[in-house]
Structure 1
Amino acid sequence: MVYDLIVIGAGPGGYLAAERAGGAGLKTMVIEKKNIGGVCLNEGCVPSKTILNSSKIYEYAKNGNKYGVTCENVIYDQKKVIKRKNIVVKKLVSGIQAVLAKNKVEVVSGKGVIVGKTSEGFEISVNGEQHTCKNLIIATGSEALIPPIPGVKEAFEKSIIVTNREILDLTTIPERLTVIGGGVIGLEMASYFATVGSKVTVIEMMDRIGGYTDREIGTILKGNLEKKGITFLLESKVTKVMDSRVYYEIEGKETSIDSDKILLSIGRRANISNIGLEKLSIAVEKGAIKVDETCKTNIPSVYAIGDINGTSMLAHTAYREAEVAVNNILGNRDIMRYSAIPSVIYTNPEVASVGETEETAKNKGISFEIKKISMNYSGRYMAENEGGDGIAKVLIDKKYKKIIGVQIIGSYASEIIYGAGIMVETEMLVKDLQEIVFPHPTVSEIIREAIFS
């Protein structure tokens, strides 16, 4: 049997590509070596947001007196939280499996490896059997980066060091948690464990947290997280790990800190090894598969989507890349655009961004103006946040008067940012945005308030 499409990897990009292709009538197979849903559903996005929500409820209960609600003897049960997380993940995985079945997608459990190409198509091996396809989508995702720092490997083998995968299964709260890396994953887990009782220290090489998040907003977030008791060691380099002690260099001096658990969160790398890329001479650049604007590799009819192409390692990016790849396979020209990909840090408060920041706009030589406003201009934000210090920033292209970027720190930021993404994607003009009616009272009104400020 020759399949119209085989997808290697059933993470967000892979399963959606298979679903879209199957729904369009293509004979489709998807191969997954671990769990349907990939890292995002099983070891990242969804489980982390599930436990973060529990910690937010706990935080509200403990601090409810600000809002006239007093709770006594508030108990946080980590075992129950993890049990609920597992139930949520299981339900969502079942839902994806049902959708794949509905679209007549054949799901195979095992490791898919490219064997080569024949006159009939591409040969893919899984579980000792070979399958042929006319089109191939590679969506094997990424894994946590384990750096060659002395002692890291040994501490990982002893389960002292954990990655995003293992930390989401901890059934006890560590008394002391050291987070190596102040990026999105590191900050979310730091926020979570600090809220539920850990003494958290974050070690970051850069002079800021949140990667390339807007610097001002990153500073506000840092202040909020410090109020939770988190200690930040910026411009610090981890030099070695000896069991539960982390050694780091700061201002030219080496010092150390003891930990009960160490979260290693310094980035991810694409899973390009041992999947047979060399059999088709698929081009690789900077540790990821090189693709064009249609997500196609240098080999006709072979596409790479999601983390494997290293362009934008976010689940929602993979969703769109899946649609672009499948559309082109179906003969419908489509291209991938990355200028309006939203990003979110699900700490409390949340941070969300889309489009240009001050730094990126300056680096590109864009002439722009900034409309910045306190979130306290939103009635709902004020009503729900005692002492909140969030802000919203809207970047406007001076020449064309169009929206080119939005950054927000505050409640509901993750739910608002998609609307800002539409503004950036459609190059909405300020005069048009001023005519849009926002529901009142909502936090989303802050964008309109910023424009008129």
Structure 2
Amino acid sequence: MKTYDIAVIGGGPAGYLAAERAAEAGKKVILAEKNAVGGVCLNEGCIPTKTLLHAAKIFEYGQYKGKEFGVSCENPRLHHPRAIARKQDVVKTLVGGVSSALARKGIDIIQTEAGLRKEDNGFVLTCGNETIRTSKALIATGSEPVIPNIPGVAGGLADGSVLTSREILEMREIPEQLVVVGAGVIGLEMAAYFSIAGSRVTVVEMTGHIGGPIDMELSQTLQRNLENMGIHFVLGSRIFDVSGSTACVKTPSGTQEFPYDKLLMCMGRKPSLNIPGLSGMNLYMEHGAPVVDKHCETNIPGLYAAGDVNGKYMLAHVAYREAEVAVNHMMGKADEMNYTAIPGVIYTQPEAAFCGLTEQQATEKGIQTIVKKASINLNGRHIAENGLSGGFCKLVLDGKGQTILGASLLCSYASEIIYPLTLMIQNKIPLEGIKRTIFPHPTVCEIIRETIFTE
């Protein structure tokens, strides 16, 4: 029986980074991954979708936006199979990079399903014919799409008319009519791509707004932008049948039917916990996820859970940080998770980004705030590269106007600009210090400064 200091189950962002950090600290590490390293984010999530969305952005400029800048293209078209092929090349390159990094650091990788059981002095992993003993173990098995028990869904998944985020990223054709169920990040990004690529897209959302728990003004402005692209939203509505390539939807005004060639299910994700032996370990669970403390440790000493599997924030960048915290705690180093400033991005065009408290969340918590907002049309570079738009930067300050509690952005490069705002929010950097900071000119990030000085 082989012995390791740390065993990691799952090779996604939490798993492979935890393995790297532990190996860098001199620990003997084994990583078990039954599919490809990189997890959902790299293989069927963040990276593939951004590759396709960038192709759509280039096509959009070639189709009509370029004319505004004096650039004309004759009969541009988005060749979807080539975009998919490039997506696969990007994924292959990055997966290879992760695998090489793990190998360079001396991490043993077993590409198989791993079982887990508790022993007095640690844990035992069963990986195929191999049995492995370890004193510490990290569960990082990620998440999987929620498949609702709606008539027609099972049959649609079988015949390929109903898709999850996994299958749609392999699809070679552009559907004439696409129905997207769920207006969260994945649903909106796929709706944007396929709308630009030529599909007639309808998005059905149970709540009365898009984008999940983001600022309401950000949600409404983003919705108007997407509607201008031709996307049709059906809000406050629920699908109850998808038989016969028709989505039957209960709306506030009655039942409606929406025909489709493909239907994309984006009704959220759930922790993936199909680990043989885990059910017999008395692991404390809530809402289908293992409960962890501020060190990402479960109720079983020495057993940790990081990334999507713990159900806190299903975001790769949160998984990275949770992995670091878990490994540091395993090694006796002081560290803990701080979830007060988690940035999020919807990679539409323009991008929507957000961090910290929204105005609505602060009000619900009884926190007094000062709200400052500036139009992106105050920003020289943004106008030069995009023209006038309805984008903005919105900051939620504490009641005395001393620190930033939350931020919302709708503009090009929002995904890049949200980082300094995250830094300001998490570290409670005084507003007076930010005012005295010199921002490079001309940059879109100057909108932060413009917003801070707005009366």
CA apart distance, 1:243? 3.0
Identity %: 46
Q: Which residue of 2 aligns with 1:308?
A: 309
CA apart distance, 1:278? 2.6
Q: Matched residues in 2 for 1:239 and 1:28: separation?
A: 47
Q: Which residue of 2 aligns with 1:100?
A: 102
1:160–1:243 contact (8 Å) kept in structure 2: no
Partner letter of residue 273 of structure 1?
Answer: N
Q: Which residue of 2 aligns with 1:87?
A: 89
Q: Which residue of 1 aligns with 2:59?
A: 58
- Deviation string, structure 1 residues 340-363 (Cα, Å, up to 9, x no partner): 110000011100001110111111
RMSD (Å), alpha carbons: 1.0
Q: Matched residues in 1 for 2:138 and 2:218: separation?
A: 38
Q: Which residue of 1 aligns with 2:36?
A: 35
CA apart distance, 1:400? 6.4
Q: Matched residues in 2 for 1:400 and 1:335: separation?
A: 28
Q: What TM-score does the superposition give when structure 2 sets the normalisation length?
A: 0.98
CA apart distance, 1:118? 4.1
- Deviation string, structure 1 residues 97-132 (Cα, Å, up to 9, x no partner): 11111111001101111133144x201111132111
2:143–2:309 contact (8 Å) kept in structure 1: yes
Q: Matched residues in 2 for 1:379 and 1:298: separation?
A: 53
Q: Matched residues in 1 for 2:275 and 2:439: separation?
A: 51
Partner letter of residue 78 of structure 1?
Answer: H
Structure 2 unaligned segments of length 5 or more: list them: none
CA apart distance, 1:273? 3.3
2:56–2:193 contact (8 Å) kept in structure 1: yes
CA apart distance, 1:48? 0.4
2:375–2:392 contact (8 Å) kept in structure 1: yes
Where does 1:11-410 land on structure 2 (aligned, <5 Å)?
11-63=12-64, 64-119=66-121, 121-251=122-252, 253-399=254-400, 401-410=402-411
Q: Which residue of 2 aligns with 1:437?
A: 438
SS of residue in 1 equivalent to 2:242: strand
Q: Matched residues in 1 for 2:377 and 2:137: separation?
A: 50
SS of residue in 2 equivalent to 1:243: helix
2:401–2:431 contact (8 Å) kept in structure 1: no
SS of residue in 2 equivalent to 1:232: strand
Partner letter of residue 341 of structure 2?
Answer: A
CA apart distance, 1:389? 1.1
Q: Matched residues in 2 for 1:436 and 1:340: separation?
A: 21
Instruction: Name whichever of 314-323 and 277-286 sits farther off.
Output: 277-286
Q: What TM-score does the superposition give when structure 1 sets the normalisation length?
A: 0.98
Q: Matched residues in 2 for 1:27 and 1:243: separation?
A: 54
Partner letter of residue 264 of structure 1?
Answer: M
In the comparison of the two structures, how many residue pairs are matched? 452
Structure 1 unaligned segments of length 5 or more: list them: none
- Deviation string, structure 1 residues 363-395 (Cα, Å, up to 9, x no partner): 111111011010011100111112311011011
Partner letter of residue 115 of structure 1?
Answer: R
Q: Matched residues in 1 for 2:89 and 2:436: separation?
A: 44
Partner letter of residue 248 of structure 1?
Answer: V
Q: Matched residues in 1 for 2:450 and 2:326: separation?
A: 39
Partner letter of residue 318 of structure 1?
Answer: A
CA apart distance, 1:276? 2.5
1:296–1:302 contact (8 Å) kept in structure 2: yes
Instruction: Name whichever of 234-243 and 248-257 sits farther off.
Output: 248-257
Q: Which residue of 1 aligns with 2:426?
A: 425
Q: Matched residues in 1 for 2:393 and 2:189: separation?
A: 20
Q: Matched residues in 2 for 1:303 and 1:274: separation?
A: 14
Partner letter of residue 89 of structure 1?
Answer: V
Q: Matched residues in 2 for 1:161 and 1:118: separation?
A: 47
Q: Matched residues in 1 for 2:388 and 2:225: separation?
A: 11
Q: Matched residues in 2 for 1:388 and 1:54: separation?
A: 22
2:306–2:323 contact (8 Å) kept in structure 1: yes
Q: Which residue of 1 aligns with 2:415?
A: 414
- Deviation string, structure 1 residues 387-435 (Cα, Å, up to 9, x no partner): 3110110111014611111110010000110110000010011111101
